[in-house]
A = this chain, B = another copy of it.
Amino acid sequence: MDVVRHLGRRVKTLRKEAKLSQEELAFRAEMKRSYVSDLERGKRNPTVRALGRLAVALGVHPAELLQD
């Protein structure tokens, strides 16, 4: 699967595991809620630095956001 779409699915899965709303994740990662929504649907191609902020916000290693 396309890496951007895969990232979106991983973020959604990990966010739900962390029991966070899109709004809570967005606040923690210093993003807009709409950006998180787009990201989870594979409509955004974030930078690696933004990926790092998402990982911190989700309490996971950055590599986990790209793993199968």
Contacts and interface: CB of A to CB of B under 8 A. Distances in A.
A49 B51 CA distance: 12
Given A45-B47, A47-B46, A47-B47, A63 B52 contact: no
Nearest to A47: B45
Nearest to A46: B48
Interface residues of A, number: 21
Copies of this chain, count: 2
Contacts of A64: 63
A7 to B, nearest CB: 6
Interface in A1-15: 2-4, 6-7
Contacts of A57: none
A33 to B, nearest CB: 20
